[in-house]
């Protein structure tokens, strides 16, 4: 079965997308901005937007029985290269010990006030699996 989750955001219907799609144990989220969903306010700084984006993604994952600990891939979009350090500090804190594969790009976003967006792929139950951590030389 495929589960498609919408949150009631008007853009989900207007632009025909789901916030979360679950196929078996695989969970994919749409790009998620850092708007505070309780107050509907958008923070001013990139770091604050990053923290809210993580809160939003975490809530989306919880809605389908998963958590940030189940994330295996993240994609972070940061329009202004000057914001990379602040955003990636938040990313590093929130993914500490999870260590998903990660892609970070600096490219424009659809709305000028967005300082970052976060998209993740998770595998439900990944946090319960044993982890083998390797350090290898790729040269």
pLDDT band at 59 (very low <50, low <70, confident <90, very high): very high
Of 11-15, 40-44, 62-66, 92-96, which gets the smallest average pLDDT?
Answer: 11-15
Q: Judge whether 95 lies within some domain.
A: yes
- CATH of residue 122: 3.30.1330.40
In total, how many domains does the chain have?
Answer: 1
Q: Judge whether 27 lies within some domain.
A: yes
DSSP symbols for 2-30: EEEE--S-HHHHHTT--SEEEETTEEEE-
CA distance 76 to 119: 7
Cα end-to-end span (Å), the chain: 42
**Can you give the pTM of this predicted structure?**
0.93
Q: Judge whether 137 lies within some domain.
A: no
Whether residue 11 has pLDDT greater than 90:
no
Q: Judge whether 21 lies within some domain.
A: yes
Q: Judge whether 135 lies within some domain.
A: no
Q: Are 70 and 27 in contact (CB under 8 A)?
A: yes
Give the closest residue to 60 by CA, choosing from 88, 40, 31, 96: 31
Task: Specify the pLDDT at position 84.
Answer: 98
CA distance 45 to 16: 29
Q: Judge whether 31 lies within some domain.
A: yes
Where in the sequence is the domain holding 109, given as residue range(s)? 2-128
């Amino acid at each position: 079965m495929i589960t498609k989750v919408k949150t009631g955001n008007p853009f989900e219907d207007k632009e025909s997308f789901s916030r979360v799609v679950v196929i078996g144990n695989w969970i994919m989220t749409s790009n998620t901005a850092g708007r505070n969903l309780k107050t509907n306010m958008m923070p001013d700084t990139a770091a604050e937007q990053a923290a809210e984006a993580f809160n939003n993604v975490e809530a989306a994952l919880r809605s389908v029985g998963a958590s940030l600990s189940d994330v295996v891939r993240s994609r972070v979009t940061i329009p202004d290269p000057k914001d990379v350090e602040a955003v990636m500090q938040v990313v590093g804190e929130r993914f500490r010990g999870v260590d998903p594969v990660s892609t970070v790009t600096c490219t424009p976003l659809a709305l000028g006030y967005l300082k970052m967006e976060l998209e993740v792929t998770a595998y439900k139950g990944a946090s319960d699996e044993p982890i083998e951590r390797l350090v290898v030389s790729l040269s």
